[in-house]
Structure 1
Amino acid sequence: MTIPVRRPRSADRAVFSMRQTFLWFALTGAVLCGCGLMLKSLVKAAGVGGALGGVALICTALGLLGLRGAGSGRRAVPRPESVPDERWETGPVTGADRAAAAAARAESGQDFAAMDAEAFELAIAGLCERDGCTDVEVVGGSGDLGADVLAVAPDGRRVVIQCKRYGPVNKVGSQDMQRFGGTCFAVHEADVAAVVTTGGFTGPAADYAEQCGIRCLDQTALTAWADGTSPAPWHGGNP
């Protein structure tokens, strides 16, 4: 079994440019030529003493230029800091809270099991938008490489979700999970990867997901997320 490895993203990436390197060497050459001509003129005009002062000035200028060139090769790439969600720090959810949320969901007609695949993906995208995600996009279909919903979490992390609208008997299997695991991090560069289903997960699929850091939401966890009685997938591990 192949387990995908999430590639760490460096907070300070080196940016290499052939054009920038060429300009640096051209500028250095021009400065050296200018310094040589200046030194020659100083020797003729002021003798050896004036020439030594000129050499000191030239060395200082070259040193400053070298420091500037060394610092221009790296550019800090800012990463958003994690923003805590205070909604899940207010206390435990009571039975009355769950009942009220379930009643509200029933009134809205949000029955995930009754939806077709496209409607289910749109519903998951709607939950992402409701909970503060931006740049939410539904990309499900042929050629999606396992990603049905893409989004950016409130704290700036990239969220990749695969939606599996299965019946109560069908479960997401190990092969489904391995296919998603092979693309969610390496291809889609997910910071948070999740599989959401109206059914459940087999034991091997759940084990694989845990090893890879993929978050699994079955029918119960999905209902709790929709009701607002459980946090979104980007707020923690598997329910």
Structure 2
Amino acid sequence: MATPARRTLQSFPITPGSAAVTGFAGLLALACLLGGSFPGFFWLAVIAATSAIIGNRKAKRAAELYRIRTLRSTEIARYHAMAPTEFEHAIAFLCQRDGCSNVQVVGGAGDLGADVIATTPDGRRIVIQCKRYGPTTKVGSPDMQRFGGTCWSVHRAHVAAVVTTSVFTKPAANYGVQHGIRLIDVSALGGWATRTGPAPWM
């Protein structure tokens, strides 16, 4: 069975321009080490300044994109309009937004039930299955059993959760409770997204 490609979520800079300033200082130091000849120093200084400006602009742009994505992450209606793969990435972003590290989207053929894997802020391994279902399709007991068969033994989860834009059937909910799987239905997802409710690992 093919192993799904692991896509690590990009981390956005929180302090724009810090990397650019470091690069600027590094190039200036290099110029000094080269002997301080005026022409060489001048052009290295120009390059350093240009690099710092470009780097600062890129950092600001990335920070602005992160800010916009964070605002959009609180709009629960967006999750209902997403394709399944988009939903997986959206859930991964929520994990990153709320302090998780090593966030990976692993859903796809051969994923063995895991769609998102991350390390929680307190160091635990969380494995999430994402179910982007319509309002008339519920997460059933077979869905839960397939995930329950791999989340602990295969993926070595410390925390296992199923996140859906719908709800769970009663047998599915019972299975989750019996096997320690966190159930995040559309209501709980709304709370997580808007920060009025807990994240799945809390």
Instruction: Judge conservation of contact 1:172–1:205 (CA < 8 Å) in 2.
Output: yes
Contact 1:161–1:196 at 8 Å: present in 2 too? yes
- 2:76 is the counterpart of 1:141: no
Provide the C-alpha distance between the structure 1 equivalents of 2:120 and 2:74, rounded to a whole number of angstroms. Answer: 28
Q: Whole-Å Cα distance in 2 between the matches of residues 205 and 132 of structure 1?
A: 29
Counterpart CA distance in 1 for 2:151 and 2:179 is 10
Task: State whether residues 160 and 192 of structure 1, in contact with CA within 8 Å, keep that contact through their aligned partners in structure 2.
Answer: yes
Q: Is 1:193 aligned to 2:160, yes or no?
A: yes
Q: List structure 1 segments (4+ residues) > 4 angstroms apart after TM superposition.
A: 104-110
Is residue 205 of structure 1 aligned with residue 172 of structure 2? Answer: yes
Q: Work out the CA distance in 2 between the residues paired with 1:107 and 1:217.
A: 15
- In structure 2, the CA distance between the partners of 1:184 and 1:107, relative to structure 1 (3 Å rule), is closer
| SS at structure 2 position matched to 1:210 | helix
Matched residue SS, 1:201: coil
Q: Which residue of 2 aligns with 1:34?
A: none
User: Is 1:167 paired with 2:167?
Assistant: no
2:36 corresponds to: none
CA distance in structure 1 between the partners assigned to 2:94 and 2:141 by the alignment: 26
Distance 1:172 1:159, change over 3 A: same
Shift of residue 167 of structure 1? 0.3
Deviation per CA, 1:184-210, whole angstroms, max 9, x where unpaired? 000000000000000110000000000
Q: Distance in 1 between matches of 2:75 and 2:168?
A: 27
What letter corresponds to residue 138 of structure 1 in structure 2? V
Alignment length, in residue pairs?
A: 132
Q: CA deviation at 1:231?
A: 1.1
- 1:107–1:144 Cα change, 3 Å: closer
For residues 203 and 191 of structure 1, the distance between their equivalents in structure 2, rounded to whole angstroms, comes to 24
Give the corresponding residue for 1:131.
98
Question: Are 1:120 and 2:87 matched, yes or no?
Answer: yes
CA contact (8 A) 2:127 2:160 kept: yes
Q: Is the partner of 2:150 in helix, strand or coil?
A: helix
Structure 2: which 5+ residue stretches go unaligned?
1-70
What is the aligned partner in structure 1 of residue 197 from structure 2?
230
* Matched residue SS, 1:213: coil
Query: Cα RMSD (Å) of the superposition?
Result: 1.6
Give the structure-1-normalised TM-score.
0.53
Checking the alignment, whether the CA contact within 8 Å between 1:105 and 1:227 is kept in structure 2 is no
- In structure 2, the partner of 1:214 is 181
SS of the equivalent of 1:172 reads coil
Measured in 2, the distance between the counterparts of 1:137 and 1:110 equals: 24
Please give the alpha-carbon distance, in whole angstroms, between the structure 2 residues aligned to 1:107 and 1:193: 23
- Equivalence for 2:124: 157
Deviation, structure 1 residue 107:
8.4
Distance in 2, matches of 1:128 and 1:178, equals: 24
SS in 2 for 1:208: helix
Matches of residues 1-239 of structure 1 in structure 2 within 5 Å?
111-235=78-202
Matches of 1:106 and 1:161, distance apart in 2: 17
